Amino acid sequence: MRVTHAYKIFRPDIEGGIPAVISQLTRLRKCGVEVSVLTVRAKGATRRFNLDGAAVTAMRSFGEISSMPISPMFPLALKQAAHACDVLALHAPFPLNDLGLSLGAPDTIAVVVHWHAEILGRKAVMPLIAPFVRRTLARADRIIVSDQSIIDGSPFLRPHAGKCVIVPYGIELDEWSDLNNNNTQKEVDALRAKHPRLVISMGRLVPYKGFPVLLKALQRIEGEVVIVGQGNEYQHLQQLAAEFGVSDRLILTGFLTRDAMKVWLSAARAFVLPSVTTAEAFGIVQIEAMAAGLPVVNTSLPTAVPTIARHGLEGFTVAPHDSDAMANAVNRLLNDPALAERFGAAGRSRVDAEYSEAVFLSRIQQIYLDALESRRRGAHATAI
């Protein structure tokens, strides 16, 4: 079975989030699946390379507008890719995927949509985008979502609920909970000595992640905050930190490798997911933080977010945009190490029981196989 994944960003340009999920899915090659990835470069000419055993084609980009890459050739590349695979795995939202599929795909290939989140903040262009999205969902053989709330909250998905399959994300627990060697432990110890009340957050520096709320909360947090990630909001966050008077207690790391992220996670005392819109449908970084043994402060979005680290069990949930409540929750964790440790241990146990990478990959592989079998059976019946 040949599977091609398509999305607007991928490693090594961006770590975490959807690129991390796609990277996980390339591990199905260990089960005999031939995997490739079609994506767009952050900037520059088309590049082809191999990453962890998967063939990656990163199309030319002329930059981006409102988080949408400017890549005129991507739709044509997607059409070509559809003729060279058995399963076309489209990761949404990404309108260029929808445009590319509209150019045509063989009836014999299965189209599986990984619907990660709803399309938000595109009111001006939505009348142009929506018909292509609906056409993609109509063609899709299966639609994978991480939580029922995504189906319930999507006018695009509700008509196709019968095709939707709920598969929560998973991670490899040991990858985030075990440090590699003594030198890594020394790095962790050094960071803890320098930053004894460190709070960490991770994610792309984009508006829906809610980092300005965290910076405002930092005015009242009795500690320091490190934000791991890159994106267009970097300078804006620096300016806000200066405006709020917290620059001396804020660390913006920019891009970090996974090993470096593990060091910061292991050195921190708590993790915060301050997201403010339903574009944050799940919050995979919560699972990574829980695997590292951290208590979590998240927000009460009408998505899966507050169901991952649950209020009073693995952490605290506060209202979106409520910087005072966020500061209170963080301070409570920093001031009560026993409580933080209890939440952290509960988080590790929850990841081990509910969010296993092995279960995630097994379920996805079966969905691909079922979709392909159904598609080919249907195509054969039509031909007869």
Q: How far apart are CA 216 and CA 224, in angstroms?
A: 12
Report how far apart, in Å, the C-alpha atoms of 192 and of each of 159, 186, 266 are: 51, 10, 9
pTM confidence score: 0.82
- The vertex-48 CA angle with 43 and 53, nearest 5°, equals 120
pLDDT over 70 at 121, yes or no: no
Domain ranges for the chain? 2-170+357-375, 173-354
Architecture of domain 2-170+357-375: 3-Layer(aba) Sandwich (3.40)
Tens of pLDDT along 3-52?
999 999 998 888 778 998 999 999 999 999 999 999 999 888 999 999 98
- Across the range 176-193, mean pLDDT stands at 84
CATH topology of domain 173-354: Rossmann fold (3.40.50)
pLDDT over 80 at 357, yes or no: yes
Mean pLDDT of the chain: 93
> pLDDT at position 209, please?
96
> pLDDT at position 237, please?
97
Q: How far apart are CA 310 and CA 316, in angstroms?
A: 7
Tens of pLDDT along 304-321?
999 999 999 999 999 999
- Across the range 334-347, mean pLDDT stands at 98
Q: How far apart are CA 43 and CA 108, in angstroms?
A: 34
Going by C-alpha positions, the residue among 275, 269, 270 that lies closest to residue 213 is: 275
Give the count of alpha carbons within 13 A of 314, CB side only.
Answer: 26
- Across the range 326-351, mean pLDDT stands at 97
Q: How far apart are CA 38 and CA 58, in angstroms?
A: 6
> pLDDT at position 379, please?
56
Compare 380 and 114 and report the one with higher pLDDT: 114
> pLDDT at position 242, please?
97
> pLDDT at position 173, please?
84
> pLDDT at position 383, please?
41
| 271: amino acid identity, one letter | F
Going by C-alpha positions, the residue among 63, 95, 335, 309 that lies closest to residue 197 is: 335
**Where residue 340 falls among pLDDT bands split at 50, 70, 90?**
very high
Q: How far apart are CA 305 and CA 310, in angstroms?
A: 9
> pLDDT at position 83, please?
95
> pLDDT at position 65, please?
81
